[in-house]
Copies of this chain bind each other. A is one copy, B any other.
Amino acid sequence: MKLETLAIVGVGLIGGSIGQAARERGVASHVIGIGRRLETLQDARALGAIDSYALDLARGVAGAELVVFATPVHMIARQVLEAAPACRAGTILTDAGSTKVRILQDLSGRLPQAVHFVGSHPLAGSEKRGPQHASAQLFVDRLTIVTPTPATQPEAVAKVTWFWQALGSRVQAMPAADHDRVLAFTSHLPHLVASALAGCLPGGLDPFTAAGFRDTTRVAAGDPALWASILSQNRESILAALDNLSGRLDRFRESLRENDVPRMEELLQEGKKNRDALDR
């Protein structure tokens, strides 16, 4: 199987990586990039991420079999609704957004019959931005979650599943609500916490940070606008995860106040057990 034309809306780190992987792996005969900034599109072409580009969304998607939206989550539903009427019958639309429920809600019942949207989220990325940080290997051995609804056409799910697998990813389907609850714990809360830790570092202490601080806060270098939009779209699940974390911080606080060393060790042991399991 090979796509004739793949369209990628947004050719930053994720969109650029999709393009590079699709071209290197022969997943599509032609890759067109669509964006608002000419310079980024030119960079993406120079970097081998796309074959051609368009500044106009409707024109860019007109000839595509598959369109992937790799733009900030608050823009995806709006762009899908704008692009859909310009698509050929049978075109499949998907995305790479870090939240799913809100996007599906915003699309529900509003798409033309002849096009099919399947939500996707490749669990891959970086705190870096732009096609110059793209990599054809970004999705290899990573997991992509797809979030079909009962109304989603099975052929569209199969094609989107094939697509991410063809880029090197594993694929798992789950309901969008499950996705958002899971990602609140595995990605959105850690981002918020890393940012809060970095944000409360008093001035002048930079020279006294070592690998531990740098690792723990690395993701805080991510783009604030992109992440504010993710936090906002998944705020209920993130608030629930944050309450859970705060409860655990309160237990640490209590053990410190009472100088209860066995309790501290027990709490640390629980964290270690979960963390060690990830490397097994």
Contacts and interface: CB of A to CB of B under 8 A. Distances in A.
| Copies of this subunit | 2
| Most chain B beta-carbon contacts within 10 A, residue among A143, A231, A244 | A231
A253 B225 CA distance: 17
A37 B158 CA distance: 58
Contacts of A247: 200
A2 interface: no
A143 B198 contact: no
B190 A216 contact: yes
A88 interface: no
Contact of A227 (B187, B195, B256, B268): B268
Interface string A138-150: 0000110100000
Contacts of A216: 190, 193-194, 215-219
Contacts of A123: 208, 210
Given A123-B208, A253-B242, A217 B248 contact: no
Given A190-B213, A200-B248, 8 more contacts: A125-B212, A199-B271, A201-B274, A214-B278, A215-B219, A221-B275, A222-B272, A231-B256
24 contacts: A124-B211, A142-B210, A172-B207, A183-B208, A187-B212, A190-B213, A194-B216, A195-B275, A197-B245, A197-B271, A199-B270, A199-B271, A200-B244, A200-B245, A201-B274, A216-B218, A217-B271, A221-B272, A224-B269, A224-B272, A227-B264, A228-B262, A229-B261, A235-B257
Interface of A: 123-126, 142-143, 145, 172, 182-183, 185-187, 189-202, 205-225, 227-229, 231-232, 235, 238-239, 241-242, 244-249, 252-253, 256-257, 259, 261-262, 264-272, 274-279
